[in-house]
Amino acid sequence: MASDDNTRNALEYDPSGVMMPETGLSRADLDWIAPRLEAARAEVLADLDCWHRGDPVPEEKQPLDAGFTDLPDRLLDEHAQAGEQSELGRMIAVAKRLRETVDRAVILGIGGSYMGARAMFEACCHPFHNEMPRVARDDHPRIYFEGNNADNAAMLGLMDLLTTEHAADDWAIVVISKSGGTLETAVAFRLFLDVLRQACGGDIEKVRQRVVPITGRSGRLRDLAHALGSPEVFDIPEGVGGRFSVLSAVGLLPAAVMGLDVVKLLQGAAEMNRRFREQSPGSNPVLDYVAVCHLMESRRGANVRVLSTWGKGLESVGLWYDQLLAESLGKDGQGALPLTVVNTRDLHSRGQQHQEGARDKLITNLVGQRYHPGVLTIERSDLNQDRLNDLAGTAVPEILEAAFRGTNQAYHDDRRPTADIRLEPLDEAALGQFFQMMMLATAVEGRLIGINPYGQPGVEAYKKNMTAILRGK
Ligand code: PA5
């Protein structure tokens, strides 16, 4: 499907602030790594072919969750051909049904099973979506996230909210777990389902209409959905790992429930796929990002990757990326430390260290402002003790821009390498590009450094111990 100019230009990666002597990189560094990047790209694309063909996967490549790579293209093609009958068409229909029947949606999931949805909610919805009247939300349900911890007060607090409002059955559960066996999510589902059943007065049909499971093709959640008689269960496809699943039903169904344009999201991702496949190092955002991150780590010891977001809309997008990078490449004693910061807020907590601390950081600015039709401006006041009349006529976005430019200037003067990713306008197309760019970059970097980016064997240890402790109590 052809993408429009907005989709094409929605994301720009600019590493020029990293090109500096002694602490940064040179043209020669980038030229040196270019053939290696092209080989890693070829390997990622070959992994996809191997996955499509169902070839046997060599031991060192298991698991091979390459299915995310062309998932956006496949979903869009199927939607273009089968419309309402397609996977995407079904998601849009379920989101519409929920919008018509409930006012609140509780999304249960942990890690890759909720972080993408949260990122989209914070980046694209009204900052106070849940507090706005229904009409101002264009009838889209309020959104809550649970099942991502074992926090008694947090769950009871949400239950208080769900049960004290006038219509106790005006809410739904979207439960997401690929394995279907993650304890935190399973416990939350058991508890919230009980509350929902009571709220529906035992009307099982009403309950069925209010529960949407998203899970792998087999497992405990799949069995539970079957026993419940859920009319719509969405698959997390085989070969798409948790933190690579944001552009499957895992992220798309919640996004549709929030009222986001899921087609535009996928078009953004498909556009990034095109850029990844076709563009050469030097003008390929995925390969250029990997080159800069990898070279800064290997040649300059920058093993802390600061994703420096500006304004308040992108914090959860950063946290989504923190998880992606940490769980994918933090293996075999390797892996850079991802760190999301929110500026200007964190200039007052971390700024000192980033300006003058150890030279172990690469800063990547993530720039993009949430949309609002209004613009706040400083007005003259007879109470000028704050001396702000000097700035009369200045708009709030200009203040953020000045902070951004001032910070970058200060980093540059101290030879602190800084790159930029711009998502402008910050909308579904830009986020689709960003999600896909980062997932591809993580896969490419994994192949470049010989780390399997898929799977998370290290997380199993805590799960095993926790279960043993609980069962032996
Ligand atoms: O990236 C991953 O695979 C993990 O972060 C999972 O998403 C997380 O552990 C949740 O797993 P599940 O969806 O099986 O409940």
| Burial class of residue 380 in the structure, from the number of CB atoms within 10 Å of its CB (0-12 exposed, 13-18 middle, 19+ buried) | exposed
Q: What confidence tens digit (pLDDT) does each residue in 315-347 have?
A: 999 999 999 999 999 999 999 999 999 999 999
Integer-rounded Cα radius of gyration of the chain:
23
Q: How confident is the model at residue 457 (pLDDT cuts 50, 70, 90)?
A: confident
pLDDT reading at 225 higher than 90: yes
Give the mean pLDDT of 55-75.
95
Give the mean pLDDT of 132-151.
97
Q: What was the pLDDT predicted at 157?
A: 97
pLDDT reading at 212 higher than 90: yes
Share of the chain above pLDDT 90, in %: 92
180 phi and psi, to 5 degrees? 80, 0
Q: What confidence tens digit (pLDDT) does each residue in 272-291 have?
A: 999 999 999 999 999 999 99
Q: What is the mean pLDDT of the chain?
A: 95
CA–centroid distance, residue 163 to ligand 1 (Å): 29
Give the mean pLDDT of 58-75.
96
Q: What was the pLDDT predicted at 1?
A: 47
Residues marked active site are found at 327, 348, 463
Q: What was the pLDDT predicted at 10?
A: 80
Peptide bond into 63 cis (omega under 30): yes
Minimum mean pLDDT range among 16-30, 79-93, 452-466: 452-466
pLDDT reading at 80 higher than 60: yes
pLDDT reading at 166 higher than 90: no
Q: How confident is the model at residue 67 (pLDDT cuts 50, 70, 90)?
A: very high
Q: How confident is the model at residue 248 (pLDDT cuts 50, 70, 90)?
A: very high
pTM above 0.85, yes or no: yes
Six token digits for residue 278: 């076709």
pLDDT reading at 460 higher than 90: no
Pocket of ligand 1 contains residue 344 by CB under 6 Å: no
Closest atom, ligand 1, to C-alpha of 323: 5
CA–centroid distance, residue 176 to ligand 1 (Å): 9
CA–centroid distance, residue 86 to ligand 1 (Å): 25
Six token digits for residue 318: 């950063």
Q: What was the pLDDT predicted at 4?
A: 67
DSSP 347: G
Six token digits for residue 196: 């929902």
pLDDT reading at 388 higher than 50: yes
Instruction: Give the SS3 label for residue 127.
Output: coil
Pocket of ligand 1 contains residue 327 by CB under 6 Å: yes
What is the helix (H) or strand (E) element at residue 308, kind and residue range? Answer: strand 304-310
95 strand-pairing partners: none
CATH class of 5-61+280-458: alpha beta
Pocket of ligand 1 contains residue 442 by CB under 6 Å: no
CATH 3.40.50.10490 maps onto the chain at 5-61+280-458, 68-264
The sign of the CA dihedral 178, 182, 188, 190 is positive
CA distance 133 to 139: 9
Closest atom, ligand 1, to C-alpha of 179: 14
Q: What was the pLDDT predicted at 302?
A: 98
Q: What was the pLDDT predicted at 5?
A: 64
Cα–Cα separations (whole angstroms), residue 51 to 38, 69, 135, 395: 20, 10, 46, 51
The second-level CATH assignment, the architecture, of 68-264 is: 3-Layer(aba) Sandwich (3.40)
Long-range contacts of 86-92 (CB under 8 A, 24+ apart): 87/234, 87/235, 87/249, 88/252, 88/262, 88/263, 88/266, 90/232, 90/234, 91/234, 91/249, 91/252, 91/253, 91/256, 91/262, 92/256, 92/262
Pocket of ligand 1 contains residue 111 by CB under 6 Å: yes
Pocket of ligand 1 contains residue 7 by CB under 6 Å: no
Question: Hey, which of 146, 148, 179 would you mutate to test ligand 1's pocket, going by the most ligand atoms within 8 Å of its Cβ?
Answer: 179
CA distance 324 to 380: 47
In total, the chain counts a number of residues equal to 473
Pocket of ligand 1 contains residue 268 by CB under 6 Å: no
Share of the chain above pLDDT 70, in %: 98
pLDDT reading at 66 higher than 50: yes
The sign of the CA dihedral 406, 412, 414, 416 is positive
pLDDT reading at 258 higher than 50: yes
Q: DSSP for 131-173?
A: GS-GGGGTTPPEEEEESSS--HHHHHHHHHHHHHSS-TT-EEE
CA distance 34 to 291: 8
DSSP 261: -
Give the mean pLDDT of 159-183.
91
Six token digits for residue 32: 């040196």
Give the mean pLDDT of 438-442.
98
CA–centroid distance, residue 460 to ligand 1 (Å): 11
Pocket of ligand 1 contains residue 306 by CB under 6 Å: no
CA–centroid distance, residue 337 to ligand 1 (Å): 20
CA distance 21 to 61: 38
Q: What was the pLDDT predicted at 3?
A: 59
Q: What was the pLDDT predicted at 175?
A: 98
Question: With contact defined as beta carbons under 8 Å apart, do 209 and 231 qualify?
Answer: yes
